[in-house]
Structure 1
Amino acid sequence: MSAAQPWGFTDDMGMELGAARVPERVVAYVRAGAALLDLGVTPVAVYGSGHDGPGYDPAKAGGLDAAGVPYLGPGRALDEELLRELRPDVIVDVTYDGKSPYALDEAVADRLGVPLAALSVGNELTLPEILDRFRELGASLGAAGGAGSAAADLAELAEAEDFLRGVAGRTGLAVLALSGAGPDQVHLARPQAWPELARLAALGVRLLDPGPGPGANWLTADWGRAAELRPDLVLFDNRFHAVPPYETPPGTRLAAWNPETPPSPAAYARFFRELAEALAA
C-alpha cells in the first residue's frame, strides 16, 4: 500500500477513521505497539497504562525496547507537547468495553487533531478474532512482509496450538491463572473472562475457576484460597506491578503469564509453547 493512497479504518468503538494518506507515524499503547511491531509496523513511540511506571515493563515491551522504540510513560500522564513534537499520524490503543480507549484519554487525540484507533481485547471477541483485527489494522498501515509473512506467523501459531493441545491432553494438569497483589491478597482469574485463557480451555488445558464471588474478571481472595483449589500449575501474572505467588501447594509448577500479551500470532505462539513446555516438564 502506498502512503499516497487515502486511508480508512473502522475501529472497535465503531469510529470510522480516515486520512488523505496511509499513516506512517504511529504512536501506540505499549501492548498494541508491540503487536504492530511483530506484524511489521514500527511505532515512533509507545506509552503505558496506569499500572506502568516511567520505564518499560519488560513483560509488556515485547520487542519494542530492543527495536529502539521510545517509551513515553503512562498514557494518562502523557506530556502532550512531547506527543505533539512526535507528529503522529495515528494513535493506536486498546479497549476492553468497546466504548473508550484503555490507556489514553480520547481528548488528548482530539486536541492534537490525530485519529485514535482502539481495538478490542475484551471477552466479547475470541482470541482469533482479536488477532484478526490487529492483522487488519497492520495491513491497512502497510505492514512490512505482506501476506507471506502473515501466513508464516499464522502457521507458527497453529503449530504451537497443536503442540499445546497434545501436551494438555496427555498430562491433564489443573491450571490456575492469577495475579498477585501482595502477601495477603491475590486476584484469581475467571477463565472465560480472558480471551487467551478461553483459548487455552478450547485447546484442552484444564483451567480452574475460582468459584462464586464478586468480580467479573477476577475473584479477589487470600493466597489460602488459591492453595485450596489445588492447582498442578500456576500461571502467574509477570507484569511489573504484580507480585510472584506467595503460597501454593508443595510441588506446584509455575509458569509466567502476561495478561497483556501483544495481540500478534508470534507472541501467542511463544506463550503457548512456553506453557506446553511447563506442562510437560
Structure 2
Amino acid sequence: MDTDSFWTFRDDRGREVTAPRRPRRIVAYVPAAAAALQHLGVTVAGIYGSPHDKDGLDPVKADGLSSADVAYLGAGTDLTAPAVLAAEPDLFVSVTYDGTRVYGVEPGVVEELEAAVPTVALAVGPGHRLLSVRDRFGELARALGTGGGHGGTGAADAEAEQLSASRLRTVARRAAHVRVLALSPADPERAHVARPGAWPDLQELAEAGLRLPDVEGPGANWATLGWDEVAALDPDVVLTDVRSNAVPVTELESVAGWRSVRTRAAVVPWNPELPCTSRAISDFLDAVARAVERKGRELAP
C-alpha cells in the first residue's frame, strides 16, 4: 500500500476506521497496544496507561518502553483529549474487553478523540484466544506498514513460540495432578483470583491441558477471596500479578494465608496484560511449564 493512499482497518468493535493516508504518528495504550506494536516494528509517538496504574508509567506493562523513549500522556482521569491531541497523533490505538468500549479512557474523552483522530480498539477480553489476539496485533502492524508476520517478530520467535506451546502440552499431560491458580494480591486481607476464561493467557494454559480451577461467586474477571480461602484451594503453582496496582508479595509475609500458599506452591510472576507477541508468549509459556514440571516431580505419587 502506498503511504499516501487511503487507509482503512476494521477494529474489534466492528468499526471501519479510515484515514486519508497510512498513519505515521500513533498514540497507544501501554501494554497490549504500545508494547506489542513496538515489538512488531511500529514506532509510537505517545503512550497512556490504565486507571489502575499507580505513580505514572507501570514498568511491567511498558515491557521495556520508558517515558524517556516516548511521551507518557497520563492514565485514567488524568488522561485528557488535549494531552493526547498535543502529541499530534493520526491514529489512537486501545483495547476493548467487551467489544464495545475503549478501555481505560473516560467516555467523554473517547468522544472528543474519535471526533478528531481515527481510533482503533482490539479485543483482549473473554472469548479471545491469546494467539488470535497476537494475530490481530500483527494484522494492525501490517496495515501500518511493517512485516507483521507470525506475531511480527520473525521465523525464530515464531518457532520458539511453537516449541514452548508444545512443551507446555507435554508437561500438562505428565503433570495432570498439578493445580494452577492466578491471582492479584489486593491487600493483607484479600486476593483477586482470576477466572481462567476471562484472560486469554490463562485460557491458553487451560487449553494446553493444565488444571485451572474457577471459583464460585460474583465477579466477571476476578473472584475476591480472603487469603485463608485462597490457601484452602491448595494450589500447586500460583501466578502472581506483578503490575503496580497489585500488592507485592514481599509485603505479605505477615499474612498467614499467603505464607501457607507460598510454602506449598511454586510462585511465578504474572503480567495479566501480556504484550501479545511470539517472544512474550513463548517466555510466559516457558515460565509456567518450568514451574508445573518442577511441582509435578515433587508431587508425583
State the partner residue of 1:46.
Answer: 47
Aligned to 2:165: 161
Offset at residue 63 of structure 1 (A): 2.5
2:291 corresponds in structure 1 to 278
Amino acid aligned to 2:77: R
Structure 2 CA distance for aligned equivalents of residues 90 and 275 of structure 1: 35
> Unaligned stretches of 5+ in structure 2?
253-257, 295-301
TM-score, normalization by structure 2? 0.86
Q: CA deviation at 1:167?
A: 2.4
2:240 to 236, 242, 264: 236
SS at match of 1:177: strand
Cα 1:149–1:67, aligned 2, differ >3 Å: closer, same or farther? farther
- Residue number among 182, 203, 208 corresponding to 1:203 in the alignment: 208
How many residues are aligned here? 279
User: Which residue pairs with 1:96 in the alignment?
Assistant: 97
- Secondary structure of 1:220's counterpart equals strand
Aligned residue among 108, 133, 145 for 1:142: 145
Extract unaligned runs of 5+ from structure 1. none
Q: What residue in structure 2 maps to residue 16 of structure 1?
A: 16
The question of whether the paired residues in 2 share the 8 Å contact of 1:253 and 1:278 is answered with yes
Of residues 164-173 and 5-14 in structure 1, the stretch that sits farther from structure 2 once superposed is 164-173
Q: Does residue 81 of structure 1 match 2:86?
A: no
Determine if contact 2:126/2:198 at 8 Å carries over to the other structure: yes
Q: Per the alignment, in what secondary structure is the counterpart of residue 182 of structure 1?
A: coil
- Counterpart of 2:184 (choices 175, 179, 183) is 179
- Alpha-carbon distance between aligned partners in 2 of 1:124 and 1:196, rounded to the nearest angstrom: 11
Whole-angstrom distance in 2 between the partners of 1:13 and 1:67: 32
Matches within 5 A, 1:219-258: 219-245=223-249, 246=252, 247=258, 248-249=260-261, 250-258=263-271
In structure 2, the CA distance between the partners of 1:272 and 1:66, relative to structure 1 (3 Å rule), is: farther
Contact 1:28 1:45 in 2 (8 A): yes
Instruction: Find the counterpart in structure 2 of residue 127 from structure 1.
Output: 130
Code of the residue aligned with 2:204 in structure 1: it is R
Identical residues among aligned pairs (%): 45
Partner AA of 1:12 in structure 2 = D
For the 8 Å contact 2:59–2:65, the answer to whether it is kept is: no
**Per-residue Cα deviation, 1:26-51 (whole angstroms, up to 9, x for no partner):** 10000211011111112111100101
Do the aligned partners of residues 133 and 169 (structure 1) sit closer, same or farther apart at CA in structure 2, a change above 3 Å counting?
same
SS of corresponding position for 1:206: coil
Residues 178 and 150 of structure 1, relative CA distance in 2, 3 Å threshold: same
Q: CA deviation at 1:266?
A: 1.8
Runs of 4+ in 1 over 3 A off after TM superposition: 79-82, 144-153
1:68-122 Cα offsets, whole Å, 9 max, x none, are 12322205322433322211010000001111100124123135x1011000001
Which amino acid is 2:239 matched to? L
Shift of 1:15: 1.3
Partner of 2:27: 27
Question: What displacement does 1:196 show?
Answer: 1.2
| Shift, 1:62, TM fit | 1.0
Q: Once superposed, what is the RMSD of the aligned Cα atoms? A: 2.0
Instruction: Give the secondary structure class of the aligned counterpart of 1:278.
Output: helix
The separation in 2 between residues aligned to 1:252 and 1:194, in whole angstroms, is: 21
- Partners of 1:146 and 1:195 lie apart in 2 by 20
For residues 134-187 of structure 1, give each alpha carbon's deviation from its aligned partner in whole angstroms, at most 9, with x where no partner exists: 111111011256678444433221111112222233333211111110001111
1:49–1:76 Cα contact (<8 Å) kept? no
TM-score in terms of structure 1 length: 0.92
For residue 278 of structure 1, report the CA deviation from its aligned partner.
Answer: 2.3
